[in-house]
Amino acid sequence: MTPPFDLVIFDCDGVLVDSEPISNRELAAFLTELGHPTTLEDSIRDYMGGAMHRVHDTVLARSGQRLPDNFDDRFHERVFECFREELQPVPGVEGVLDWLATLGTRVCVASSGSHERIRMTLGKTGLLPRFPNHAIFSADDVGRGKPAPDLFLHAARTMGAEPQRCAVIEDSPLGVQAALAAGMRVFGFAAMTTAEKLAGAAAIFRAMPELLPLLRVTDT
């Protein structure tokens, strides 16, 4: 069977590793401690899938106050500590990666997180060996993060794949928008995000095994 895609691009947080509940919980708590009341639902709605500059920009626009210069470092320290204790791979994702490997379909990671965060979370969950260094891409590599298409286009270009031959697996509205802007086919993982907020995705799935038949589509 000839695979319909030359490259499958995975977001990291919430797609490969089950980090979104932890990360958004800690982000909401930290912002609240700093005088910017934020619930878990607020954090998921406003920041999930975005780079850290989105947090800074949103807080400044709403409050007129800048977050501390060391905000990013302090946040990453506390969330990494939680990851070391709690983080697990997304259920079923290893089976998806195994299946793609049997087809010979290349995979990569394109995440809004830093390279340090990507490698730490993949390492903690045992997924890092599946993604060599040349197949890991961070928003730090490009000028604009999601929802701009830059990160996905950079990943495809580096991996030698045409955008129309790429599938993107995303769980956030920002990620779906970025993949569509890049001219790629995107599949929305509605584990923490409602299907309505992933509008534009070619298909929606709620558990990783459901992704396998979607990746067999040929009308790309």
DSSP run (H or E) holding 136: strand 136-138
> DSSP 3-state assignment of 104?
coil
Q: Is 13 a catalytic residue?
A: yes
Contact of 38 with 32, CB cutoff 8 Å: yes
What is the C-alpha separation between 33 and 71, in angstroms, rounded? 12
Q: Rounding to the nearest 10 degrees, give the CA dihedral for residues 130, 135, 141, 145.
A: -70
Q: How do 106-111 and 136-138 pair as beta strands? A: parallel
Given the residues 6, 13, 18, 98, select the one marked as catalytic: 13
Helix axes 71-86, 115-124, angle to 10 degrees: 10
Q: What single string gives the DSSP state of each residue in 38-66?
A: --HHHHHHHHTT--HHHHHHHHHHHHS-P
What is the C-alpha separation between 42 and 49, in angstroms, rounded? 13
Phi, psi angle pair for 78, to nearest 5° = -75, -35
Contact of 73 with 52, CB cutoff 8 Å: no
Beta-carbon contacts of residue 194 (< 8 Å; ≥ 6 apart): none
Given the residues 11, 57, 150, 171, select the one marked as catalytic: 11
User: Which sequence positions are flagged as catalytic?
Assistant: 11, 13
